[in-house]
Amino acid sequence: MNAKILTVANQKGGAGKTTVTMNLAGSMAARGYRVLVVDADPQGTAVQYAAQAEEGSFPARVVGLAAAGAKVHNELRKHIADNDIIIVDTPPSIDAVQPSSAMLVSDLIVVPVPPSPPDLWAVLPVRQKIEQISVTNETVVVRLLLNKFNSRRALAGPAMTALEEIGIPVLNRRLSALTAYQNAAARGVWVGELKAEAGDSRREVALLTDELLELMGLPAKNRVGEGQSHG
């Protein structure tokens, strides 16, 4: 089976692309998938994230391919036979060549965005870029992920209006503004490897993983409620 390619993209910094990338990679690897993280950001944030691991190593392999520039898609094709899932972390600029290149061969594009009107409106150029890419990649699936969400507050009217203007389907699952994600990044792990106090973050990552695997046509394998995944 050739690997499914999931690209995480947003033109705005601070949307949480690397956090989303690394936690999905850890979650999917813990379920037994062969996962490769491709860091296509010249800043190398995903590579730096994995390098923080003090014990053992990050459960998914992480490689930096930003130098491939507009030929990232060619580099990705070299890895599809040896992996089940490839997750691409992209730079915070939709005008950079790496995101467009990765999108050309992606099965799924996830756009993480904090649920505030300015952040949501900033997604509009991303949508335009994806529309251009979809002329070539006709089967790509695109979803918006509400990230850094405050579960105690409903989306305000302006945020709902901004969501409607974007026109990208929103994932049913979302990730909250929990300190567990920061703690995991500082240790170079995903939240599934943290202790019991990170239970809320583990559950929401597991549910998001279920949804994304289904969108890619892959079995969920270890479902939510089967305990903490491996470290």
Q: What is the pTM of this model?
A: 0.92
DSSP state of 154: P
How much is the pLDDT for 152? 61
Tell me, what's the pLDDT at 149? 87
Domain that holds residue 131: 4-215
Task: Find out whether 40 and 99 touch, Cβ atoms under 8 Å.
Answer: yes
In a domain, 224, yes or no: no
pLDDT tens, N- to C-terminus, the chain (231 residues): 799 999 999 988 889 999 999 999 999 999 999 999 999 999 999 999 999 987 768 999 999 999 999 999 999 999 999 999 999 999 998 779 999 999 999 999 999 999 888 888 889 888 999 999 999 999 999 999 999 988 666 666 677 777 888 889 999 999 999 999 999 999 999 999 998 778 999 999 999 999 999 999 999 987 544 444 333
Task: Look at residue 54 and tell me if it is in a domain.
Answer: yes
Q: Is residue 228 part of a domain?
A: no
Enter the tokens of residue 122: 């900033």
- Spatial neighbors of 160 by CB under 8 A, at least 6 apart, are none
Where do runs of H (alpha helix) occur along the chain? 17-30, 45-51, 72-77, 97-104, 117-121, 124-136, 157-166, 179-187, 199-215
What is the predicted pLDDT for the residue at 79?
97
Query: Encoding tokens for residue 200?
Result: 């809320």
* Residue 87 covered by a domain: yes
Integer-rounded Cα Rg, in Å, for the chain is 16
Per-residue model confidence (pLDDT) at position 225? 41
pLDDT of residue 116: 85
* Total domains present in the chain: 1
What pLDDT shows up at residue 154?
Answer: 60
In a domain, 226, yes or no: no
**For 5, what's the count of Cα atoms within 13 Å in the CB-facing half-sphere?**
29
Residue 221 lies in a domain: no
Question: Given this model, what pLDDT does residue 227 score?
Answer: 43
**CATH number of 75's domain:** 3.40.50.300
Please check whether residue 67 lies inside any domain of the structure: yes
Q: What local confidence, expressed as pLDDT, does residue 231 receive? A: 35
